[in-house]
Amino acid sequence: MKCIHCAKDCKYSERSDKKCPHCKHPFAFEPRQGDPFTDGVFQSALDTISASSTIRFGPEHIYYEICRRKRYRFRHAHLYLIAGGHFLGVCACLLLPSPWRWFMPFLLLGIIVAIAWGFRERRLVPLSRGEFERLWNRWCEAHGKPKGLIVRKQAPAKPVPLESDVGDYSFDRVVVCDSEATVDLLLANQFHFENNCAVLSIDGYPPGIFTLVRDMLKRNPHLQVFVLHDATMKGCRLAHKLATDPAWFGKKIKVIDVGLRPIHADAFKGLWTESGKEVQPGDGISVSEAKWLSAYALALAAVRPEQVLKRLFRAINRQFDPHAESSSGGDGGNTGTTDTASFADDAGDTDGGADAFG
């Protein structure tokens, strides 16, 4: 097993103290003792979700990335195929003249193994939340919190007062989320700064400034409103709620739904959870969506952060393009539009505004 610090390999017998014999750095996991993966696999998952340390992420993103890691496994059928096929082949080879009789069985074995390798099964690593928490704590103990992990600061005992005028302005757009973790993802990655954008959760996060920011939104009559959410009943009704709740915008404003909906779920099979709640169509949810949501749910954290950010950037770019297409989602004609593009489309590229000469 390779050490993620010094990249040197070592045998099981050399790491009985769970430390690298070369650099003495501890290992977090030991597959020989029942752990589902090595430190290298975990590190690889971190590299993937952080897009090589360029994007910040939460523990929930690590969980889904680990769950997404697939193992190649041979089923019993594969082993029977190799053994049976080779036995029959050897028998047939006995009929061949020498030297083919001695050479062909090895060639045949190679061909059969190659075929079986191609048909081996890819399976997700089954991992419960509780098991992940245990492994995550061990990782942090051995290697510390990974760079890029979103860590909230402790709220100061006495909040630092904002300048008196800060609440007098507005934003070009807002992204309203159904969870605090999604708000954290956007804010920690400076999405608000790059896009002149407010980011709030529907339930009042971040708490200290929620009311102030929501009031600021009403100062821009041309505000662009996006919602970003899980594929859950609450998430899929978010756009409708914003468009109809007088505490938010009422019907005066178009809401663009860029969140996860059942239509996106196929790409994330294996990461669905059971919803256990009957969902009725209406209020932004179509009949077919209600059927899926009655059985399943899918967290936005199952989508890699990079793809979530790209999707949002792309949706914003489309709002500047008068020829951009969008389509109604669910029965949400009264809730604005749903961005039905996949979660993997490119975010587009711009050089930004550069500098002007006035």
Partner 1 sequence: MSGICGFVGDADAKLLDAMLAAIDYRGDRTETVSAAGVGLGYRWWGGRPGKSPGIHRVGDHLTVCAGTLAPPTPSPAGKLHARLHSADDTLADLDGAFACASWDADQQRLTLIRDPFGVRSLYWVEHAGVFYFASELKQLLAVPGLPIEPDYHALHKYLTFSFVPGEDVPIRGIHRLLPGHVAHWQYGRLQKTDYLTLKEQIDPRLADQKEAARFIRARCEHAVARRLNGEPEVALYLSGGIDSSGVAVWLKEAGVKVHAFTLDFGERSVEKKQAQQVAEHLHLPLTLLPVQGADLAPVLMDLVWKLDLPFGDAVTGPQYLLGQAARQAGLTAVWNGEGGDQFFGGWTSKPMISAQLYADLYEDQSRAQIYLQSYHRFYGLEDQLYTPDFRARVGPPGQRRALLEPYLHSSDAATFLNRVRLADIELKGSQNILPRLERMANAWALDARVPLFDRALAEASFQLPPQMKLHGACEKYVLKLILQNKLPRDIVWRRKFGMSVPITDWMLGPLAPTLEKLLGNASLARRGLFRAEYVNRLRSGENEPNETRRRRVGERLWALAMLEAWLQIFIDGRGRRPGGGA
User: Which residues in this chain contact partner 1 in the complex, by CB under 8 A?
Assistant: 51-52, 54-56, 150-153, 156, 160, 162-166, 168-172, 184, 187-188, 190, 192-194, 196-199, 206, 209, 212-213, 219-223, 306, 309-310, 313, 347-358
Give the distance, in angstroms, between the CA of residue 142 and the centroid of all CA atoms in the same chain: 25
DSSP 25: P
Q: Which two tokens stand for residue 304?
A: 């890699």
Least CB distance to partner 1 at residue 151 (A): 5
Q: Which is nearer to partner 1, 279 or 302 (CB)?
A: 302
- Whether the ω angle into residue 99 lies within 30 degrees of 0, i.e. cis, is yes
Q: To which residue do tokens 């169509």 refer?
A: 281
Q: Which is nearer to partner 1, 164 or 327 (CB)?
A: 164
Least CB distance to partner 1 at residue 65 (A): 13
Q: Which is nearer to partner 1, 213 or 279 (CB)?
A: 213
Least CB distance to partner 1 at residue 218 (A): 9
H or E, element range at 176: strand 173-177
Least CB distance to partner 1 at residue 43 (A): 16
Whole-number Å distance between alpha carbons of 59 and 181: 10
Give the distance, in angstroms, between the CA of residue 341 and the centroid of all CA atoms in the same chain: 16
Alpha-carbon separation of residue 274 from 171, 277, 278, 294 (angstroms): 38, 9, 11, 8
Letter string b/e over residues 177-213, b meaning 16 or more CB atoms within 10 A of that residue's CB: bbbbbbbbbbbbbebbeebebbbbbbeebbeebeeeb
Q: Which is nearer to partner 1, 118 or 221 (CB)?
A: 221
Q: Which is nearer to partner 1, 76 or 222 (CB)?
A: 222
Least CB distance to partner 1 at residue 155 (A): 9
CA dihedral 204, 210, 211, 214 (to 10 degrees): -100
Q: Which is nearer to partner 1, 92 or 162 (CB)?
A: 162
Least CB distance to partner 1 at residue 56 (A): 8
